[in-house]
Structure 1
Amino acid sequence: MPRTLAPILSAAVSAALSVTLALTALTQPSHAQQKTPEPYAAKESLATKPVPQSRGEVQLSFAPVVKRASPSVVNVYASHVEKRSNARANAMEEFMRRFFGEEGGGRGPRGLPGERAQRSLGSGVILDESGLIITNNHVIDNMNEVRVALADKREFEAQIVLRDPRTDLAVIKIKNPTGGLIAMPFGDSEALEVGDFVMAIGNPFGVGQTVTQGIVSALARTQVGSSDYQFFIQTDAAINPGNSGGALVDLQGRLVGINTAIYSQSGGSHGIGFAIPASMVKAVVDSAKGGASTVRRPWLGARVQNVTPDIAESMGLDHPTGVLVANLAPKSPAEEAGLKRGDLILSVDGQAVDDPEAFGYRFALKGIQGQTKFGILRGTDRMTLPVKLGPAPETRPREAVKVRTRSPFLGATFVNTSPAVAEEMQVDFPSEGVTVQAVEENSIAARAGLRKGDMVLTINGAPVASTKDIERLTRNPMGMWEVAINRGGEVLTSVFGG
Structure 2
Amino acid sequence: MIRRAILATVLMGCGAAVALPPAAQAQGLPNSRTELAYSYAPLVKKVSPAVVNIYTTTTARVQRRLPFPFPGMPQQGGERVQNSLGSGVLVRPDGLIVTNAHVVKGADEIRVVLADRREFEAKLITQDERYDLALLRIEGTDEKFPFLELRDSDSIEVGDVVLAIGNPFGLNQTVTSGIVSAVARSAGGINDSNFFLQTDAAINPGNSGGALVALDGRLIGINTAIYSQTGGSVGIGFATPSNIVERMVATGTQGGRIIRPWLGVSMQRVTPDLAAGFGLSRPAGLVVKEVFANGPGASAGLRRNDVIIGIREQAIDDEAALRFRLSTLNVDTTVPVKIMRGGKEQVVQLKLAAPPEDPPRDLSQLDGRQPLSGASVVNMSPAVAEEMGLAEWRPGIVIVDVKPGAYAGRFVRPGDMILAVNGQDVKTVADLKKRVASGINSISVGRDGVIFPVQFR
- The alignment's TM-score, normalised by the length of structure 2, stands at 0.83
For residues 10-66 of structure 1, give each alpha carbon's deviation from its aligned partner in whole angstroms, at most 9, with x where no partner exists.
xxx9xx98x624xx7xxx8xxxxxxxxxxxxx8796577444698xx6763212211
Q: Which residue of 2 aligns with 1:94?
A: none
Give the 3-state SS of the residue equivalent to 2:225 in structure 1: strand
1:449 aligned partner, one-letter code: F
Give secondary structure in 2 for the equivalent of 1:84: strand
The CA distance in 2 between the partners of 1:474 and 1:346, in whole Å, is 43
- Look up the SS of the partner of 1:324 in the other structure: strand
Aligned to 2:238: 274
Q: Distance in 1 between matches of 2:171 and 2:420?
A: 55
Counterpart amino acid of 1:453? Answer: G
Q: 1:270 to 1:369 in 2, by over 3 A?
A: same
Residue aligning to 2:447: 487
Matched, 1:316 2:279: yes
Alpha-carbon distance, 1:310 to partner: 3.3
Q: CA 1:267/1:53 → structure 2, altered by over 3 Å: closer, same or farther?
A: closer
Q: Secondary structure at the match of 2:137?
A: strand
Cα distance in 1 between the residues matched to 2:189 and 2:199:
16
Number of residues of Structure 1 aligned to a counterpart in Structure 2: 435
SS at match of 1:395: coil
CA distance change for structure 1 residues 58 and 491 in 2, over 3 Å: closer, same or farther? closer
Q: What's the CA shift for 1:197?
A: 1.7
Instruction: Compare 356-365 and 138-147 and name the one that shifted more.
Output: 138-147
Q: Could you tell me how far apart the structure 2 residues matched to 1:212 and 1:300 are?
A: 40
Pairing partner for 1:453 from 415, 418, 424: 415
Partners of 2:220 and 2:319 lie apart in 1 by 23
Q: Distance in 2 between matches of 1:430 and 1:360?
A: 16
For 1:143-154, list aligned pairs within 5 A. Answer: 143=107, 145-154=109-118
Larger Rg over CA atoms: 1
Whole-angstrom CA distance in 1 between matches of 2:344 and 2:359: 38
After superposition, the Cα gap between the structure-2 partners of 1:188 and 1:52, relative to the gap in structure 1 and judged at 3 Å, is farther
Structure 2 stretches of 5 or more lacking a match? 1-9, 68-75
Q: CA deviation at 1:360?
A: 2.7
Q: After superposition, what is the alpha-carbon deviation per residue over 1:199-239, rounded to whole angstroms, capped at 9, x for unaligned? A: 00011112222001122223212246423323322222111
Alpha-carbon distance, 1:460 to partner: 5.5
| Cα 1:72–1:353 shift into 2, 3 Å | same
Counterpart-to-counterpart distance in 1, 2:425 and 2:271 = 37
* Structure 1 SS opposite 2:16: helix
Aligned positions of 1:91-490 closer than 5 A: 114-141=78-105, 143=107, 145-177=109-141, 179-223=143-187, 225-292=189-256, 294-425=257-388, 426=390, 428-432=392-396, 434-446=397-409, 448-459=410-421, 464-468=426-430, 482-490=442-450
Helix, strand or coil at the partner of 1:190: helix
Identity of aligned residues (%): 42
Question: Aligned Cα RMSD in Å?
Answer: 3.2
Q: Judging changes above 3 Å, is the alpha-carbon distance between structure 1 residues 265 and 490 closer, same or farther for their aligned structure 2 residues?
A: closer
Question: Within 1, Cα distance between the matches of 2:250 and 2:414?
Answer: 28
TM-score, scaled to structure 1 = 0.77
For residues 302 and 273 of structure 1, the distance between their equivalents in structure 2, rounded to whole angstroms, comes to: 33
Aligned-partner Cα distance in 1 for 2:169–2:109: 20
The one-letter code of the counterpart of 2:286 is V
Distance 2:125 2:368 in 1: 35
Runs of 5+ unmatched residues, structure 1: 1-12, 29-41, 90-105, 107-112
CA distance in 2, matches of 1:159, 1:440: 31
Aligned counterpart for 2:38 among listed residues 40, 45, 60? 60
Contact 1:439 1:445 in 2 (8 A): yes
Per-residue deviation, residues 87-144 of structure 1 (Å, max 9, x unmatched): 858xxxxxxxxxxxxxxxx9xxxxxx92124554321111123332222233334555
For residues 63 and 189 of structure 2, what CA distance do their matches in structure 1 show?
A: 39
Q: Contact 2:411–2:454 (CA<8 Å) still a contact in 1? A: no
Using the alignment, how far apart are the partners of 2:402 and 2:270 within structure 1? 35
Partner secondary structure for residue 248 of structure 2: helix
State which drifts further: 120-129 or 451-460.
Answer: 451-460
Q: 1:52 to 1:192 in 2, by over 3 A?
A: farther
Judging changes above 3 Å, is the alpha-carbon distance between structure 1 residues 47 and 299 closer, same or farther for their aligned structure 2 residues? closer
More helix by share: 1
Residue 328 to residue 117, structure 1, CA distance change in 2 (3 Å): farther
Name the residue aligned to 2:70: none
Note if contact 2:358-2:382 (Cα within 8 Å) is conserved in structure 1. yes
Aligned-pair CA distance for 1:427: 6.2
Q: Does the aligned pair in 1 maintain the 2:323–2:391 contact within 8 Å?
A: no
**Which range moved further: 385-394 or 117-126?**
117-126
Amino acid at match of 2:102: H
Query: Contact 2:260–2:386 at 8 Å: present in 1 too?
Result: no
- Determine if contact 1:401/1:471 at 8 Å carries over to the other structure: no
Post-superposition Cα deviations, 1:420-469, rounded to whole Å, max 9, x if no partner, equal 1122231643312x3222222222332x3321122334556776554455
Equivalent of 1:77 in 55, 63, 84: 55
Q: Which amino acid aligns with 1:253?
A: G
Q: Given residue 181 of structure 1, which amino acid in structure 2 is its aligned partner? A: F
**Mapped partners of 2:314, 2:50: distance in 1:** 31
Task: Indicate how the Cα distance of structure 1 residues 280 and 409 shifts in structure 2: closer, same or farther if over 3 A, else same.
Answer: same
Q: Which runs of 4+ in 1 moved over 6 A?
A: 42-45
